[in-house]
Amino acid sequence: MSETLVEHDVLERVLGEALGRGGEFAEVFAEDRTTASAMLDQRRIEELSSGRDRGAGIRVVVGETTGFAHTADLSERGLLAAAQAAAAVAREGRGGVREIALDALRDYPTHATILPGDVDKARKIELLRYADDVARSEGLSITQVQVALGDSTRRFVVANSEGVFASDHQVRTRFNISCVASGDAGMQTGYRPIAGTSGFEILTMQAVEEAARGAAKQAITKLDARPAPSGDLPVVLAGGSGGILFHEACGHGLEADAVLKNASVYAGKVGEQVASPLVTLVDDGTVTGEWGYLAIDDEGRPGARNVLIENGVLTDYMWDYLRARKEGRGSSGNGRRQSYQHLPMVRMTNTYLLAGESDADEIVAQTPRGVYVAQLGGGSVNTATGDFVFGMTSAFLIEDGKITAPLRDCNLIGNGPEILQRVDAVAKDFSMMPGTCGKDGQSVPVGTGQATMRLSSVTIGGTAP
């Protein structure tokens, strides 16, 4: 794949051209991506599309300045023109030829066993209709069902002036079910995803059925929801459900670009106790099959397991090549980009808290009054302060140590560093969820996860006393 996407000797000449025009570091990232999507909305196929995007981005670094150009022309002529454009930021008078010797190719095959492109459209539509039927079979109160299927195959090769030469073949498949239930109190929604850095093999009939039933039951249960309480209460986060909270409220503050700009509340705190001793936070691109899995990052560095907080102590940040180079250290494998048209930056992969030793049911039983969060929605965070607001899309009241009434959608309000200090129980039932992370206009797939855990006190933005 990679050697036909851009030939080895062409890459060497393009990199040599970039350095010969004054560059101190040069990189070529060539990509070939195919996508397909299908959507069933109210029992009608509303979308059935596919696309393909090919091209290369070339980065040239001179001191603190980065030049970047991208092109859809993968010929040597097109790549040389892009290299010249990117190198235009170089200092004058440093002309000449710089020879580049690339390492032997490190080529990583896909883990997918059924490539989405090998599955015909009729089979995909059959799965959409099956999910719709299953969801509606949960009750007449289910009035709307939307089912979406998407897949992508991304092949890329990255080469740079330090000799890195690597390629990857990433296959991702995602299936989403959204339901609306209608009742006397209005309408409520339910949602379940199936997603993985895998092929069509993850979409078994059993998996699709469980997701469809889960989405429908969630919507139906919320028809009886009461207003959520307001004020500070203990919060129990169900396994998998709260990972997005720590991704947003803590993870972004541990990305080196924010740290080096002093735009992170965690800047300068390596070695300090920043969380409860029950908290060990990891970013791990090597978790095979998870949504944020990668064999290599988009700078050609191998995916890695990076412990960020260990037993409450901040141990490290996440690094891409440029920030690591500036600090005289190695990349942590967190250089990611949305496509060849984008520069890489520090990004999370699969970010999660390690499981503990407690029993999930016991954690609830030992909570006299609080809120049980089964699913979090979207949120926002200020990385400089750690302040956040998150929506709770599926939550229940805890009364006398038992999960009781469902609650209407409301917000969790707090501060990331403070929340980390308030983790007072962590269970064994670890699980993960897929997500999409947006940063500086770029989106990349990520995974988040944690076991059931309790936060001793969080502000609930409800309306009930």
What domains, with CATH codes, occur in the chain? 2-224 (3.30.2290.10), 230-461 (no CATH)
pLDDT value at residue 463? 81
Q: State mean pLDDT over 287-299.
A: 97
Among residues 92, 151, 165, the alpha carbon closest in space to that of 119 is found at: 151
- Over residues 227-239, the pLDDT tens digits come to 999 999 999 999 9
Residue pair 239/452 in contact (Cβ under 8 Å)? The answer is: yes
pLDDT value at residue 89? 65
pLDDT value at residue 14? 96
Parallel/antiparallel/unpaired status of strands 313-314 and 44-62: unpaired
pLDDT at residue 413 above 90? yes
Q: Which residues contact 62 (CB under 8 A, 6 or more apart)?
A: 22, 23, 24, 89, 90, 91
Higher pLDDT: 39 or 410? It is 39
pLDDT value at residue 103? 77
Higher pLDDT: 27 or 241? It is 27
Judged by phi (left if over 0) then psi (alpha if -120 to 50, else beta), residue 219 lies in alpha
pLDDT at residue 301 above 60? yes
Parallel/antiparallel/unpaired status of strands 305-310 and 313-314: antiparallel
Task: Please provide the average confidence, as pLDDT, over all residues in the chain.
Answer: 93
Two tokens, residue 238: 């169900």
- Over residues 48-68, the pLDDT tens digits come to 999 999 999 999 998 888 889
Q: Which residues contact 206 (CB under 8 A, 6 or more apart)?
A: none
- Over residues 74-126, the pLDDT tens digits come to 999 999 999 998 888 655 434 444 455 767 888 898 989 999 989 999 999 99
pLDDT value at residue 272? 98
Considering only 1-5, 138-142, 153-157, 461-465, which range has the smallest mean pLDDT?
1-5
CA atoms within 13 A on the CB side of 438: 5
pLDDT value at residue 249? 84
CA 354/CA 171 separation, integer angstroms: 27
Residue pair 227/150 in contact (Cβ under 8 Å)? The answer is: no
pLDDT value at residue 66? 87
Judged by phi (left if over 0) then psi (alpha if -120 to 50, else beta), residue 323 lies in alpha
Q: State mean pLDDT over 141-151.
A: 98
pLDDT at residue 129 above 60? yes
- CA 195, 196, 201, 207 torsion-angle sign: negative
Cβ neighbours of 384 (radius 10 Å): 14
Q: Which residues contact 127 (CB under 8 A, 6 or more apart)?
A: 149, 175, 203, 208
pLDDT value at residue 448? 96
pLDDT value at residue 92? 41
Residue 344 dihedral angles phi and psi, to the nearest 5°: -70, 155
Number of H helices, E strands in the chain: 10, 22
Cβ neighbours of 357 (radius 10 Å): 10
pLDDT at residue 270 above 90? yes
Parallel/antiparallel/unpaired status of strands 345-346 and 431-439: unpaired
